[in-house]
């Protein structure tokens, strides 16, 4: 067999490495955990199938066909297969590269392309532009629009997606980014100084959650620094295949946060945390290796940080309720964090944690998937909520804004009783007033 050229039928820029694809030895363990395979029972919509398609492209046996692009976007990038893979294959990451490839091979037509460019390259990188926008549509929704416009034509697409968009969006409040003090002092005996990475979705859609995060960190003895110059973490760009803009944003955040001299960089958004932890890889060759390593070593999800630091429980008040916990993909699979959020929940006096089945399965939000693939998304959501209902818990706890939106929408649609809470919202209820 002749040695294939490095990229085969991939475009050279931002192509997945051949080694990363070859790592798959096709044992099929991933089939048991892949939500899109569970939906379709179609091998090409499984991690093993997607890796095989990428391999065929890399080996020049297959062009980068529209079907390969479709599979790259049909992948939830939930990374459940990464957790399940003994061989260490990261199909989600390979599919992110394939999304980039799809953008290169088949750039979206006008005006969808212009809209996409505007969102990814102008609006998201600029918090002020995003916050100032009058449209009650945010990141995920916008990306969903451009996708569907491109694929199906605007008329066929709009009614369904708009209905879901309107349904899913809570009333927007004033962005927290401009409200939160840049420095919040530590309470009690000071244990350190943390930089709070305030994500776009948190600031805009869930300001109350991030207010709790800052409050808890301070109550637990940490000085909280929240820089207003923070940029989007780049996760939406990676997900949509715009690696250039993602790198630009990452470089800005890297400089900004390293300059704060904090002990840790903490976020309460699983999606941001996952992206921040991947800066090292994203910026390889674009920034100093040592600085990337230092940055990576500081990034923590809020539950990971608090569990690691040890939680002060003396002043906590009982919160008598039962909860069940939905694990965000970007926390459990993206960052391997399954224990810390449960640890946090377990420290709250009076809270009973009732485990649901398949707690680590995707809720069907998956960035813009919920809008692009509404039928598939709804099936995943219903599967999830059936497990929630079976627990009979008083509340549904999670730790990521995307899941939060989707779950809250589903709970309302199905008339379920459980309010959806971020784990820090629950913890916040235990803090002294």
Partner 1 sequence: MLTKAAIDRLRQKVGTGNVYHEREDLLVYGYDGTPETAGIPDVAVFPQDGEGLKAALAFCRDEGLSLTPRGAGTGISGGSIPVRGGMVLGLTRMNRIIEIDEENLTATVEAGVITVDLFNAVASRGLFYPPDPGSQNVSTLGGNIAENAGGLRGLKYGVTRNYVMALSGLLIDGTEFFTGGKCVKDVAGYSLRDLLVGSEGTLGIITEATVRLITPPQDKRTFLAYFRDIRTAGEAVSRIIAGRIIPATLEIMDKMTINCVEDYAAIGLPRQMEALLLIEVDGHPAVVAEEADGVRRILQEVKADEVRLAANAAEAARLAAARRTALSAVARVSPTTIIEDATVPRSCLAETFAEIERLKEKYKVRVATYGHAGDGNLHPTAATDERNREEIANVHAFFSELYDKVLSLGGTVSGEHGIGTAKKAYLLRQLGAGGVAVMRRIKDAFDPAGCLNPGKIFLDAPAPPSTVHPGGKDV
- Identify the CA nearest to 362 among candidates 336, 392, 341, 383: 383
Q: Which is nearer to partner 1, 41 or 155 (CB)?
A: 41
Provide the 3-class DSSP secondary structure of residue 34.
coil
Interface ranges with partner 1 (CB under 8 A): 1, 3, 19, 22-29, 31-32, 41-44, 48-49, 52-53, 55-56, 59, 61-62, 65, 67-68, 71, 85-88
Which residues are CB-neighbours of 108 under 8 A, at least 6 positions away? 116, 146, 150
Q: Which is nearer to partner 1, 36 or 418 (CB)?
A: 36
Q: Which is nearer to partner 1, 48 or 231 (CB)?
A: 48
Q: Least distance to partner 1 from the beta carbon of 48, Å?
A: 8
Q: Are 329 and 366 in contact (CB under 8 A)?
A: yes
- Residue 84 backbone dihedrals phi, psi, to 5 degrees: -80, -15
Beta bridge partners of 184: 224
Q: Which is nearer to partner 1, 56 or 200 (CB)?
A: 56
Q: Least distance to partner 1 from the beta carbon of 295, Å?
A: 24
Q: Least distance to partner 1 from the beta carbon of 105, Å?
A: 15
Q: Least distance to partner 1 from the beta carbon of 43, Å?
A: 4
Burial of 134 (0-12, 13-18, 19+ CB in 10 A): exposed
Strand 321-325 to 351-353 pairing:
parallel
Distance CA 203, CA 267 (A): 12
Beta strands in 198-247 (DSSP E): 222-225
Q: Which is nearer to partner 1, 81 or 149 (CB)?
A: 81
Which residues are CB-neighbours of 140 under 8 A, at least 6 positions away? 236, 365, 367, 368, 370, 371, 402, 405
Q: Least distance to partner 1 from the beta carbon of 285, Å?
A: 24
Give the residue ranges of DSSP H helices in 9-126: 18-22, 35-40, 47-58, 66-74, 80-84, 91-105, 112-117
Q: Which is nearer to partner 1, 21 or 424 (CB)?
A: 21
Q: Work out the angle at residue 91's Cα, subtended by the Cα atoms of residues 245 and 305, and round it to the nearest 5 degrees.
A: 70
Q: Which is nearer to partner 1, 57 or 426 (CB)?
A: 57
Q: Is the dihedral of CA 152, 158, 163, 165 positive or negative?
A: positive
Q: Least distance to partner 1 from the beta carbon of 346, Å?
A: 17
Q: Least distance to partner 1 from the beta carbon of 423, Å?
A: 24
Q: Least distance to partner 1 from the beta carbon of 195, Å?
A: 29
């Amino acid at each position: 067999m002749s040695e294939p050229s490095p990229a085969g039928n991939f475009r050279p820029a931002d192509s997945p490495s051949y080694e990363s694809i070859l790592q798959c030895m096709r044992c099929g363990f991933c089939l048991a955990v892949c939500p899109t395979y569970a939906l379709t029972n179609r091998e090409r919509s499984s991690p093993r199938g997607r890796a095989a398609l990428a391999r065929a492209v890399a080996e020049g046996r297959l062009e980068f066909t529209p079907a390969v692009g479709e599979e790259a976007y049909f992948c939830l990038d939930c990374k459940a297969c990464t957790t399940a893979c003994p061989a260490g294959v990261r199909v989600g990451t390979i599919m992110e590269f394939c999304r980039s490839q799809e953008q290169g091979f088949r750039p979206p037509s006008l005006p969808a392309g212009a809209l996409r460019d505007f969102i990814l390259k102008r609006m998201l990188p600029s918090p002020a532009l995003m916050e100032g926008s009058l449209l009650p549509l945010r990141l995920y929704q916008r990306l969903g629009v451009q996708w569907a416009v491109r694929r199906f034509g605007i008329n066929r697409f709009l009614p369904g997606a708009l209905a879901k968009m309107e349904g899913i969006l809570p009333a927007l409040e004033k962005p927290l980014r401009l409200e939160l003090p840049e420095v919040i002092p530590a309470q009690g005996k000071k244990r350190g100084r943390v930089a709070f990475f305030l994500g776009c979705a948190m600031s805009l859609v869930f300001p109350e959650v991030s207010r709790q995060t800052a409050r808890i960190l301070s109550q637990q003895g940490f000085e909280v620094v929240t820089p207003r110059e923070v940029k989007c973490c780049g996760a939406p760009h990676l997900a949509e295949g715009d690696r250039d803009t993602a790198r630009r944003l990452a470089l800005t955040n890297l400089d900004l946060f390293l300059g704060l001299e904090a002990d840790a960089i903490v976020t309460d958004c699983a999606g941001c945390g996952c992206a921040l932890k991947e800066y090292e890889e994203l910026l390889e060759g674009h920034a100093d290796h040592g600085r990337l390593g230092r940055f990576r070593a500081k990034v923590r999800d809020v539950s990971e940080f608090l569990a690691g630091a040890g939680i002060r429980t003396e002043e906590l008040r009982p919160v008598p309720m039962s909860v069940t916990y939905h694990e965000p993909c970007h926390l459990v699979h993206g960052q391997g964090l399954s224990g810390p959020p449960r640890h946090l929940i377990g420290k709250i006096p009076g809270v009973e944690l009732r485990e649901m089945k398949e707690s680590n399965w995707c809720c069907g939000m998956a960035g813009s998937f919920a809008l692009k693939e509404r039928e598939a998304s709804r099936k995943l959501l219903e599967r999830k909520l059936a497990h929630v209902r079976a627990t009979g818990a008083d509340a549904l706890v999670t730790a990521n804004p995307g899941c939060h939106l989707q779950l809250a929408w589903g709970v309302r649609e199905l008339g379920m009783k459980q309010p959806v809470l971020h784990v820090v919202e629950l913890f916040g209820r235990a803090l002294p007033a």
